[in-house]
């Protein structure tokens, strides 16, 4: 579940292993590029953490962030 904290939408996803986490990140990267909205994210082994906010809007949460979060959720469904 996404939470809004510190002017960002935040969520972490866990996967079976690093390869699955990296595959997820690769697919998310295509969505981010298509939307021209690039996440602040990190990956440690099987966990990917996101912090989404819109830099052009003063680093606050906007509709762009919610749209990318929805796309990320859709990608994640493939890994359940």
Cα–Cα dist 48/42, whole Å = 6
Cβ atoms of residues 53 and 8 within 8 Å: yes
Q: What are the CA-CA distances from residue 70 to residues 17, 18, 19, 44, 45 (Å)?
A: 23, 23, 23, 22, 23
Model's pTM, two decimal places?
0.94
Pick the CATH number of 3-77 from 3.30.1360.20, 2.40.50.140, 3.40.50.720, 3.40.50.150: 3.30.1360.20
Residue-wise pLDDT tens digits, 10-40: 999 999 999 999 999 999 999 999 999 999 9
Residues 6+ apart with CB under 8 A from 64: 35, 37, 54
Cβ atoms of residues 6 and 60 within 8 Å: no
Domain range summary for the chain, segments of one domain joined by + = 3-77
Residue-wise pLDDT tens digits, 36-79: 999 999 999 999 999 999 988 989 999 999 999 999 999 999 99
């Amino acid at each position: 579940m996404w939470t809004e904290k510190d002017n960002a939408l935040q969520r972490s996803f866990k996967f079976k292993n690093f390869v699955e986490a990296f595959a997820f990140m690769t697919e998310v990267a295509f969505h981010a590029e298509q939307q021209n909205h690039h996440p602040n994210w990190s990956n440690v082994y099987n966990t990917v953490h996101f912090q989404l906010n819109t830099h052009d809007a003063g680093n606050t949460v906007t509709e762009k962030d919610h749209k990318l979060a929805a796309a990320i959720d859709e990608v994640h469904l493939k890994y359940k």
